[in-house]
A and B are shown apart, each in its own frame.
Chain A
Amino acid sequence: MSSTEAPSPRSPDRDPLALAGQSLWRWLNSLPVAVWVMILLAFLSMLGTMIPQEHLAQPPGGLSLEEMYVQRFGASRAALIRGLGLSRIYFTWYFNFLLIWLCVSAVICNIVRYRRTAALWRAPGPLRKAPFFQASKRAVIAQGAGETEYSRLRELLAGKGYRIREAGEDGARCLYADKGFLSRWALVVLHVAVLVLLFGGMYGKAVGVEGNVMLADGEKKDLELDIVTNKHRYVQPLLKLLPPLVFELDQKAYRIDYLKQIQLGSEILKMPEDLHDYYRYIVHDYVSDLTVKRGSRVKQGEVKVNHPLVIDKLNLYQSGYHQTGYLSLSIAAGEAVEAELLADTPSVITSRGVAVQDGPGGAWLLPVPGTQFGKVTALPQGTPVSDLLYEFEQVKAGDYYDGGVKAGYIGPLTIAHMYEPQSGQYMGSRLITPDKPLALTVNGQPALASMSRRVDNYSIFSYKRDPGIPVLYFGWILMIAGVALTLYIPFSQLYLRYEQQGGKLYILGAGLAFRRGAPLTLTLREILAAATVVPAREDGGGR
């Protein structure tokens, strides 16, 4: 098309769609834009560590999430924070948009980089004319150099393991040499790794499933994985086609092991000596003897922290434990009552059990025997209650190890911290075991509370079926290898152009090997000692 000819309405440089596409490509391939996206992502991530995030928040005192934000920031600011999504910033559309932008940018960058690297690998193109050298402030020209110098340079590079390509034109000899090309490929691999990571994460999110399940000691339970709920609406119809994933869990045994500490911390040593027996023992491990069955596949093993059980891509992690202890209450002349303890909660001891308050000023509530922790019912009017408030530590009971050897069984034991109900004044702490009862008064009458030998153990498992994990780890390994190879393998390039006419030898080198003072540069200078070396820019050729 001649310059006078008007472009057709559908030509690429007039088509708004094509223009928009070109602009988008340029933006996605722009490093400054990518850097700004990185900075924005870092800034938003930082905000998320200054504003409590819903997925990590633990509202105090039975407050709801909304109440917690209002209490901390005031009604209007809380509304703004939640309205802008700042309370769940990592799951907002704009955060994900920036992440996706960065990833798409990596894809495009990768395409461009791959083309450039492959071209340089296949056909380095040694033919470079004088203006190529004159455009660089780092190129030099050795005047008076001859065929000998050119050949010696070539031999030097070949001897150092450089990959050499040569070509000639119009009485000039051109050479291109490079070394450490692996680092160029590593750079491509590094950017591919970002995509592999992204794919692994998205794949896992799209089809993976995770959750928690709790089993009492000796309990059997069916675990049906819900792989459809909480998935993207486009993925859900596909997931519904998959057969249900049901696993039969059978916890044959569950134990919580304790460790006898050699030395107690300075804070504990300040406490009364009889309390040391409680703090001396710390949870060492919690171990489930678990059998999991799916169809004909059966897997049995010990599951403990850092040692998950894997069956059919389902990972079962020992993520927590719970021990429920019981107090044996002897109040007045009546029969002893076995009362469930709720730890770390202000409680009163009543003739019907240990009651906790339903929020500040609320009704006193009792745990319901035979249910799992947490279910309580109102305390009948007129029930006698203890004169003091009690806060119990978590019950400890189980085998304990001393110096790596099983040394015995501890507990059940707990500590009761006592407070005056009206003023909240601390009245002391007492260790309670089956043999060391706590003396107390209930409505002025003496009573005794000792630990019952009964303890219920509950094993808490996290489970996850994430087929994206292997992909993700592969991506990470690629990335680490890519980063290390890119940064640690030095890449050096050298362009030479020898013009017989006038005896000019143009040289342009890049990379550590061609830095000032580098051994190769020094040898190169020795070879060119007889020539006059000047910057190529001052050759008079201009740019």
Chain B
Amino acid sequence: MAELARHEEHFESLERQAQAARLGMWIFVASEVLFFGALFALYGAYRAVWPEAFHAGVRANALVLGTTNTVLLLGSSFLVALAVERLRRHHDRAAKWLVVGTLVVGIAFLSIKGWEYSRHFEHGIFPGGRGRHFEQAGPGQAAFFTLYYLLTGLHALHVGVGVGVMAVLARRIHVRTLTSTAPHGLEVGAMYWHLVDIIWLFLWPMFYLTRGGGGS
């Protein structure tokens, strides 16, 4: 039997503590939005300066891999949202396996991303406009791919942290230090995962879809 979850002394009730945890997480999410927002502004500025080079850069990226990763991350968000729903309805075991599923899909995303990076390296595309690809392509593509590495790299770092968070949450549900009596621990961790998903929803059109003229 799970013991009844107790709230910390400085909170009136467990519900108050849960709301404080959620608000704290929203403030963290808000600061991440500003962090990535600044980098998106930089992307917009360089894209305005070199529109053709950015189209060429997007065309050089693997549409299939980027789109596969979009569907994977959306699916993983759905899994962890279901995990929260299951835990709230006292199906702790189902919640644990849904969290494990989220973690596995996250690793699949990172594997595809890593394979994509290795393909770029083979094609002579490195950060900072280094590599033989840029002997022909101008400074615009160097800016495009440097931003690509910066933004997708930062995002992949977030996915990696998310995988770690999911592993900790699955373990906590397994050893019953996180149970349906206080499911907000999982909710807050899931919010981080959804944030990572949301960032990718913007990176996908920025780096894989907007290739100009509708040509493939």
Q: Do A and B come from one complex?
A: no
Residues of B within 8 A of A (CB): none
